[in-house]
Structures are given as C-alpha cells and as structure tokens.
Amino acid sequence: VIDQGQADHAVITTCAYCGVGCGFKAEMKGDQVIRMTPWKDGKANRGHSCVKGRFAWGYATHADRLTKPMIRAKITDPWREVSWEEALAHAASELRRIQARYGVDSIGGITSSRCTNEETYLVQKLVRAAMGNNNVDTCGRVCHSPTGYGLKTTIGESAGTQTFDSVMHVDVAVVLGANPSAAHPVFASRLKRRLRQGARLIVIDPRRIELVDAPHVKADYHLPVRPGTNVAVLNAMAHVIVTEGLVNDDFVRARCEDRAFDEWMQFIRRPEHAPEATESITGVPAADLRGAARLYATGGNAAIYYGLGVTEHSQGSTAIMCIANLAMVTGNIGREGVGINPLRGQNNVQGSCDMGSFPHEFPGYRHVSDDKVRAEFERAWGVPLQSEPGLRLPNMFDAAHGGSFKGLYCQGEDIAQSDPNTRHVVAALEAMECVIVQDMFLNETAKYAHVFLPGSSFLEKDGTFTNAERRISRVRQVMAPKAGLADWEVTCALSNAMGYPMRYAHPGEILDEIARLTPTFAGVSFGRIAALGGSVQWPCNDAAPEGTPIMHVDEFVRGKGRFMITQYVPTDERSTRRFPLLMTTGRILSQYNAGVQTRRTANNTWHSEDILEIHPHDAEDRGIVEGDRVAIESRAGETVLRATVTDRIQPGVVYTTFHFPECGSNVLTTDNTDWATDCPEYKVTAVQVRKVTGP
Ligand code: SF4
C-alpha cells in the first residue's frame, strides 16, 4: 500500500465485497480516494477489515473502466460510442420492438447483488411496471435462493436470525459448507476469538478448511462430507438427537407445529438415517457424526454458520430445511449465541433478495399472486401488474434457446462468466436480439451485447447495502460517477425512454418508496439510519423502530415453526468410470467472485493463477506432481489448470475456485439445479483429470 499523505476529508461508506458489510472511511485528498480505513464504529466490523475491502478498491479508477455508452447492430460489428440519449433511446426502442413482435413476455431484466438496494428495487420496478412482466431475477438465484425458500418454509423469513455480535455468546459453532477465513475474514477472526475463549467447533466440509487447524484453534470434529450428501449428514445428526433423547421438548411443543413435528419424528427415527447406515454414502465416520450431533445438542448455545457449500446443490433447499429442523429440535434459535446464519458471498445478496428481484416476489418476499399486495403496488406504480411469476434466470436461457425470449437488460452481473454451463448461456445470449449490459467493464457478457451502458463503482453511489445479518448500511458517494450518470439514474432514464415515467431526485427518495411499500422496511430511511449510528437491522418499523438484532425471539415469523420432511435424494451428478472424481469449488482470501474487481488491483499479485487441489493418491494414480498442468474434463466442457497436491482435499474429490474465468470452472459445471429454486449445483461436478504433456 502506498501512503499518499494526509487526507483532507473522509466519507463513511460500506465495503463493496462480501456479506460481512464492513464500514469504511474513504480518506480523500480533493476528489481522490487515497486510503480506505476500517470504520471503528461500523457495527458489522468494529474497526476491522480484510485485504479485499482495505486494499482492493483501485479497480474503481482502473484504466479498463469504460465511460461512454456504446451500441452496435450485430455482436460481430465493432462498438460505436454514442451519447447517453442515443444509447438509451436505442435500447428502449429495441426492447419495445421485440415486445411488439414476440409478445410482452419476450424480454426481462437481471439485477446484481453488487448493486445497492435502491438500484435493485428500480430494476425490478422497471421489469414489472415498464416491461409489464415478472421476468426479473438476480444473481442471488445462483447462490442463496435455497436459503430464501428453506427458511421461509420452516421459520417464515428468508434471512439469517442473528447479529454477528451474537457469535461472542456461542458455545458450539457449526461451520457448514463455508470457509470464513477466505470468504468472510472479518467474521472469521471474531469466530476464532470466541473459539480461543473455549467455544467448541464442528466443521462439515469436503475440504479441511483453514479453521479446522488454525493457529490456537482446533475443531472438535471435522466431518469430511462427500460432495452432494449434506442432507444425509444433517439427517443423521437429527437422527442421533432424536434417538438418543436429546430433543428440547419444551421448546418444540411451545414453538412448533405439533403435527409436522410428529410426522418428522417418525421420518427421522427410521434406521436408514442412522450414522452407521449413511457412512458409506457420506464418507463421514459414524462415531464422529454421533459425537458432533451430541455436541451440537448438549454443548450450550449452538449456532450454525453456512455458505454456498450448502445451497449450491440439487438438494440445496432441502439442506436448509435440515438446518432449520436441527435448530428447532434443539431449541437453538431465538436468543443470543444460537441461530441460523447464512454467510452471504456478496455484499448485497440479502438486499437484492429483499428488494423483490425474484420473478415470483415483490419487495419484502410477498408473492405476485397475492391480490392485496399486487393492488398496493399497482396503486403506487400506476399500472396493472402481472399475477403470474415470471422466468427465472435459467428459464430465460431456455426460452432464448426456444426462440421466445429475445431481449435482456443486465445490470452489474456477468452471466456469461458466473452462470453454470457457459456454452449453454452463450448460445442463449447469441439467440437474443437485444442484450443490454450495464457494467464498469466490458465483461464477458458484453461480448454478446448490442448496447453497453457504463456502470458506476460503489465509490460513485449513494444508497444502502444489506449484509448477511440483515444490517442496512449507508453507501455514500465519494466521487462523481465516471460516466456522468449513476446506475440508478440510468435505470430511470431507460424506463422513461420506454414510456414509463420514473423520477427521483436522490436515492433517499427511492428508499422512502421502498419503505412505504415494504412492511419490514417501513421505518427505514437515510435519516433513521443516520440517527441509529449508521445502520439498522430489518425488520425496522413501528413494532421495532430501532431494528431487530435477533429474530424469532418469542415466536417464529410464520407463527409456529414447521418441521419439514427432508428425504435425501442422491444427485444425478455421480462419479462414473469416465468421470471418476467429484469437483467442488470455493474462494481464496485475496480474490472475489469472478475476479472482475480484485484482479484489477494489487491483490492479483498475491494469487494470480488458479489451481486444482488434488489428493496425493489421486495425483499418484495419474502421474501428477505438484505444479503440473492438468486437463479437467466434465460432461459440460474441459479446461486446464495447474495442480496442487494436498491432503486438505479428500481422495476422490478435487477442488478449485471460481475467481479465474479464463480457466473457467463454469465451463465444467453442469445444468443440474436445486429442485425448488433452480440454484445451480456448482458444488458437485463429476470430472476426469489428466496430466497435460507438451505445450
Ligand atoms: Fe469486510 Fe468482507 Fe469487505 Fe473484507 S471483503 S473488508 S470482510 S466486507
């Protein structure tokens, strides 16, 4: 880091990377940011930060930033720089032309978890009110949509139950399908502090993640689950709790639906769920599983922290319901130090979901078929709205292949890079007649676009992000938008050009509209956030004017908690003679998502190439040694990486990250999705690995 001297002023804002949502001071000299320092009053980070938030903001001023709108007739044509007016008029007339020719449902929009709440709200409003359909989705589809479905079904709200502060009251932490040391470092350091104070730790992960044997921390149990078998492991834990008499009867009888609980008890008692019966499926030794279940049920305050290793599976939603079953059956919900804690990968996954960017829900998770709710939005927005859910992201691709989906507005999301089975996505984009990309950089999706609208970085925006603990924090503009318009202004201008008026003087007015239309946000405003010290956790309304740190305290949001039957169903993606290994994916500390931001900063010097982790036995079988180039082939595609031989990964499983798109782990991932939400099964891909010889 280069010390660039004394700042003349500072602006408090929120990190643009992970779902911890750290508060930062942008230290300024004139209109230039010279340093980002963690904000000591930030309630999510309390003065701490990691290498991403602290040092990796240089992408905002990177030479690759595009600042001029561009259009072209065909994707093989060169781009032509045009004025904002011409670009927006062209985009609007193309979208209307497509609707006139192919029907009102032939276009849609995609929002991003990297955009603010206000921007996301506007995109779904544009789709519903200006385009006249519900074809809106978000990248939350491909990460935490099962969290939304599973938690709504069981406890009534699509959100984590606690604050990060609550970890300091935890006696037993279960870290499941997550690697906080790399992906949520500020939370990880608080968790480690609590572990060093004596809290116990259970890690459930195919990989021996850093937490398992971090300095001065030792996991009591590491359950090395085989990819794709989380549900069998979690059911086995519940089986132990039930059959060994560890149920919290008082909690369950007072707080949960009797009938659903009784049915679940019958289901979970069945011998097929016993750890000894599931050991050959999950790879987890029965004795360890029994020990972990007993510890979770009897060790005091027990909290589950989980990540994409739970959700990105064909049974992602089922696994979330298993987690809720475990929390309810032991009474580990509704107070400090317990609960269900999704660790969100991106800064505003929670917010983008809250803001109604799924095709079936208005802001606040209310179904579009609810006549009363829809009437409220129709009154506020002044247009009739569709009552049928629209297309999800993968359905848009399928419809494009089928010729019925022809136009897409994509804000801040690089679907050609981030979504599974790249070939399928690219073919869908090529089949469309108008793809509009709004982004800071000419990303992979822009290669298939007809209109490019330059986007703004977090340093150029006003608004709010909502982190993994439902904390709504202010994002403050520290420099003018490089392209002249902020992202929210671009969406408004596109809507106006399409003939549906959208006028706001400032993002604060957008948040006021959100608050008027969303009961859980009813008390939220820029003013309230400032008065409460810079952030507030929703629900924030008349019943909870200062926000809600812990949910489900006296009763669940849905009233009584509902146990769900969670039958384990093996994924179709199994190892075969042709593809004998299972590939899973994750993150590293210095990079973020597809690397669009971090790889344009000094962080790239720390880790500039992707690797494939392979167990020594599997490496030896294939004649692979450390540093070899290896080809990885799945039924979807093939790529080449450098091998690292390590026993951090179990035999039969290989591991890579998704930070380096040119190596393309998504070239390999398949079309399998979660049964309830269509979240892709990124975490299980059957592959073969062979050493590459020659150039
Ligand atoms: Fe905090 Fe996450 Fe940003 Fe790191 S990346 S500074 S942990 S919000």
Domain map of the chain by residue range?
A: 9-61, 70-141+350-472+480-537, 145-342, 581-691
> CA-CA distance, 507 to 512, in Å (whole number)?
9
DSSP code per residue over 388-439 = S----HHHHHHHHHHTS--EEEEES--HHHHSSSHHHHHHHHHT-SEEEEEE
pLDDT band of residue 580 (cuts 50, 70, 90) is very high
**Tokens describing residue 30:** 């004139």
Which residue's alpha carbon is nearest to atom 3 within ligand 1? Answer: 53
pLDDT in the model for residue 662? 61
pLDDT in the model for residue 416? 84
Residue 177, CA distances (Å) to 3, 253, 683 in order:
38, 30, 10
CATH of domain 70-141+350-472+480-537: 3.40.50.740
Closest atom of ligand 1 to 45 CA is: 1
Q: Tell me, what DSSP letter sits at residue 556?
A: B
pLDDT tens figures, 190-207: 999 999 999 999 999 999
State the average pLDDT over residues 650-670: 79
Ligand 1 within 6 A of 53 CB?
Answer: yes
Candidates 3.40.228.10, 3.40.50.1000, 3.40.50.300, 1.20.1740.10; CATH matching 145-342: 3.40.228.10
Ligand 1 within 6 A of 15 CB?
Answer: yes
Distance, first Cα to last Cα, the chain: 37
Ligand 1 within 6 A of 50 CB?
Answer: yes
> CA-CA distance, 674 to 317, in Å (whole number)?
7
Which residue's alpha carbon is nearest to atom 4 within ligand 1? Answer: 50
Ligand 1 within 6 A of 44 CB?
Answer: no
Q: Which of 135-144, 287-296, 628-637, 679-688 is least confident?
A: 135-144
CA dihedral for 273, 279, 282, 285, sign (positive or negative): positive
pLDDT tens figures, 515-561: 999 999 999 999 999 999 999 999 999 999 999 999 999 999 999 99
Q: What is the CA radius of gyration of the chain?
A: 24
Which residue's alpha carbon is nearest to atom 1 within ligand 1? Answer: 22
CB 241 within 8 A of CB 326: yes
Q: Specify the pairing of strand 339-342 against strand 302-306.
A: parallel
Ligand 1 within 6 A of 52 CB?
Answer: yes
CA of residue 581 to ligand 1 center, whole Å:
33
CA of residue 606 to ligand 1 center, whole Å:
17
pLDDT value at 2 more than 50: no
Angle between helix 117-125 and 507-517 (nearest 10): 70
Ligand 1 within 6 A of 405 CB?
Answer: no
Amino acid of residue 92: A
pLDDT value at 647 more than 80: yes
> CA-CA distance, 262 to 563, in Å (whole number)?
9
Exposed/middle/buried for residue 666 (C-beta within 10 Å: 0-12, 13-18, 19+): buried
**Residues contacting residue 99 through CB under 8 Å, at least 6 positions apart:** 106, 107, 131, 132, 407
**Tokens describing residue 384:** 């009739």
Which residue's alpha carbon is nearest to atom 6 within ligand 1? Answer: 53
Per CATH, 70-141+350-472+480-537 and 581-691 having the same topology is answered no
CB 366 within 8 A of CB 156: no
Closest atom of ligand 1 to 185 CA is: 7
CB 522 within 8 A of CB 543: no
Ligand 1 within 6 A of 185 CB?
Answer: yes
* Structure ipTM: 0.99
pLDDT value at 419 more than 90: no
Ligand 1 within 6 A of 526 CB?
Answer: no
CA of residue 340 to ligand 1 center, whole Å:
21
CB atoms within 10 A of CB 442: 17
CATH fold of 581-691 reads Barwin-like endoglucanases (2.40.40)
Residue 619, CA distances (Å) to 271, 574, 579, 631 in order:
37, 20, 15, 13
pTM here is: 0.92
Ligand 1 within 6 A of 22 CB?
Answer: yes
CA of residue 25 to ligand 1 center, whole Å:
13
State the average pLDDT over residues 401-424: 87
C-alpha count within 13 angstroms, C-beta hemisphere, residue 610: 27
Ligand 1 within 6 A of 45 CB?
Answer: yes
pLDDT band of residue 1 (cuts 50, 70, 90) is very low
Which residue's alpha carbon is nearest to atom 7 within ligand 1? Answer: 186
CB atoms within 10 A of CB 367: 13
CA of residue 333 to ligand 1 center, whole Å:
26
Helix/strand number for the chain, H first, E second? 23, 26
List b or e across 194-232, with b for residues whose CB sees 16 or more CB atoms inside 10 angstroms.
Answer: bbeeebbbbbbbbbbbbbbebeebebbbbbbbbbbbbbb
pLDDT in the model for residue 544? 96
CATH fold of 9-61 reads N-terminal domain of TfIIb (2.20.25)
Phi, psi of 641 (to 5 degrees): -135, 175
Could you tell me the strand order of the sheet in which 136-138 lies?
80-81, 70-71, 451-454, 434-439, 407-411, 107-111, 136-138
> CA-CA distance, 212 to 208, in Å (whole number)?
6
The residue among 42, 44, 679, 666 whose CA lies nearest residue 353 is: 679
**Tokens describing residue 692:** 């590459």
Q: Judge if the upstream peptide bond of residue 539 is cis by omega within 30 degrees of 0.
A: yes
Ligand 1 within 6 A of 668 CB?
Answer: no
C-alpha count within 13 angstroms, C-beta hemisphere, residue 421: 20
Ligand 1 within 6 A of 338 CB?
Answer: no
pLDDT in the model for residue 511? 98
> CA-CA distance, 622 to 501, in Å (whole number)?
62
pLDDT tens figures, 448-475: 999 999 999 999 999 999 999 999 999 9
Local structure of 353: helix, strand or coil:
helix
Local structure of 339: helix, strand or coil:
strand
Residue 689, CA distances (Å) to 208, 549, 572, 637 in order:
21, 47, 20, 12
For tokens 């899973």, name the residue: 584
CA of residue 26 to ligand 1 center, whole Å:
14
pLDDT tens figures, 225-280: 999 999 999 999 999 999 999 999 999 999 999 999 999 999 999 999 999 999 99
CA of residue 367 to ligand 1 center, whole Å:
33
pLDDT value at 659 more than 70: no
Query: Ligand 1 test: best mutation among 13, 18, 181, 589, most atoms within 8 Å of CB?
Result: 18
CB 362 within 8 A of CB 375: no
pLDDT value at 285 more than 60: yes
Q: Which residue has the higher pLDDT, 398 or 574?
A: 398
